[in-house]
């Protein structure tokens, strides 16, 4: 790697690897173990919220200590507990879908796809007959593609958008059939309010035609997501079912 590359790399990783001193390391270990009280405990709680290096150290210890909980026997709580939890969390459910969709940290997590998987999906897309980049006659408009995945999973959908024609090609590769629900594709613009782009095939591929309004929004970095909806699609105009994959549009 050249010097400039090293500098960029260093700047990217510096905040995460900045050295904790011995006192901090003990504080992290003891916080994870749970032995701290009063001032030490409050100091540790504050560091967890504000210091990524400290949080990483705590999570590392939690990860190592958790297997000890295997010694703890499961005990069924009474049914009343779930009823209370349900009552306290209702009203923030999927009926209020718009508010939930702008959870940025979650989207970032979902969009992270391993380079290997993305490359494989991209290659598959490029070699599909008729839609390769080199057959695209659109002059200035650059086609955009997105690989839609759930975190850590192989791409479930690959989308290719051609700004010149408004055509959105989507290939579905879902492992198992979804039975009664159908995949619906959503566009998540900057305002976080999802807009439906239409229903997708449960297998194989197809073209969606994007309307003029949505066409102007589709661009570099815009998130696409797929939720499972009742046959015929969401009736509310917002996603109602679980989100099974998402990804960002990027220039081809």
Total residues at interface with other proteins (CB under 8 A)? 56
Work out the angle at residue 133's Cα, subtended by the Cα atoms of residues 132 and 134, and round it to the nearest 5 degrees: 95
Which residues, numbered 202-241, are part of the site for other proteins (CB under 8 A)? Answer: 241
Helix (H) or strand (E) holding 162: strand 157-162
CA gap 161, 121 in Å, rounded: 15
Position 243 contacts other proteins (CB under 8 A): yes
Using alpha carbons, select from 200, 204, 193 the residue that is nearest to residue 233. 200
Nearest approach, Cβ of residue 18 and other proteins (Å)? 16
Nearest approach, Cβ of residue 213 and other proteins (Å)? 25
What's the length of the chain?
Answer: 252
Closer residue to other proteins, CB minimum distance, 2 or 22: 22
Q: Figure out which of the listed residues 17, 18, 46, 64 binds other proteins, where binding follows CB under 8 A.
A: 64
Q: How far is CA 222 from the centre of its chain?
A: 13
Q: Figure out which of the listed residues 12, 21, 23, 34 binds other proteins, where binding follows CB under 8 A.
A: 34
Position 60 contacts other proteins (CB under 8 A): yes
Position 94 contacts other proteins (CB under 8 A): yes
Closer residue to other proteins, CB minimum distance, 1 or 87: 87
Q: Figure out which of the listed residues 15, 109, 190, 221 binds other proteins, where binding follows CB under 8 A.
A: 109
Q: Figure out which of the listed residues 1, 12, 75, 235 binds other proteins, where binding follows CB under 8 A.
A: 75
Using alpha carbons, select from 211, 222, 162, 159 the residue that is nearest to residue 185. 159
Is residue 224 within 8 Å of residue 110, measured between CB atoms? no
Is residue 225 within 8 Å of residue 188, measured between CB atoms? yes
CA gap 111, 242 in Å, rounded: 16
Q: Which residues bind other proteins (CB under 8 A)?
A: 26, 29-30, 32-37, 55-56, 59-60, 62-78, 80-82, 84-85, 88-89, 92-94, 96-97, 100-101, 103, 105-106, 108-110, 150-152, 241-243
């Amino acid at each position: 790697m050249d010097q400039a590359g090293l500098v960029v790399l260093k700047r990217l990783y510096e905040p995460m690897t900045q050295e904790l001193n011995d006192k901090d390391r003990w504080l992290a270990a003891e916080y994870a173990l749970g032995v701290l009280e009063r001032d030490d405990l409050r100091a540790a709680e504050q560091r967890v919220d504000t210091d990524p290096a400290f949080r990483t150290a705590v999570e590392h210890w939690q990860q190592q200590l958790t297997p000890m909980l295997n010694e703890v026997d499961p005990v069924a709580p009474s049914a009343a507990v779930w009823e209370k939890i349900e009552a306290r969390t209702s009203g923030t459910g999927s009926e209020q879908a718009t508010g939930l969709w702008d959870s940025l940290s979650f989207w970032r997590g979902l969009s992270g796809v391993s380079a290997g998987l993305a490359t494989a999906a991209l290659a598959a897309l490029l070699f599909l007959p008729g839609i390769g980049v080199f057959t695209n006659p659109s002059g200035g408009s650059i086609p955009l593609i997105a690989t839609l995945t759930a975190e850590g999973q192989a791409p479930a959908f690959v989308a290719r958008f051609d700004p010149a024609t408004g055509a959105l090609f989507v290939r579905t590769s879902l492992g198992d059939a979804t039975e009664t629900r159908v995949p619906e594709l959503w566009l998540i613009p900057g305002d976080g309010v999802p807009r439906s782009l239409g229903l997708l095939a449960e297998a194989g591929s197809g073209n969606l035609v994007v309307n003029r309004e949505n066409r102007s929004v589709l661009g570099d970095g815009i998130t696409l997501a797929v939720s499972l909806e009742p046959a015929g699609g969401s009736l509310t105009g917002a996603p109602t079912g679980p989100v099974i994959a998402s990804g960002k549009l990027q220039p081809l």
